[in-house]
Amino acid sequence: MARETALVHTLGRFRPPELFRSTPFSDSSRRLNCEEIAESTDHVYIDAFAGAGVHKSKMTGEEIDGSPVNAVNTQPPFKEYHFIDLNGKKVDHLNSLFGQRSDINIHHGDCNQIMLEKVLPKVQWKDYRRGLCLLDP
pLDDT in tens, the chain (137 residues): 555 655 776 665 544 445 445 555 555 555 546 566 556 688 999 999 999 999 888 899 999 999 999 999 999 999 999 999 999 999 999 999 998 899 999 999 999 999 999 999 999 888 888 999 989 87
State how far the Cα of 103 lies from the Cα of 105, in Å rounded to an integer: 7
State how far the Cα of 28 lies from the Cα of 30, in Å rounded to an integer: 5
Domain 9-134 has CATH 3.20.20.70: no
Given a contact cutoff of 8 angstroms between Cβ atoms, the answer to whether 26 and 70 are in contact is no
State how far the Cα of 40 lies from the Cα of 56, in Å rounded to an integer: 38
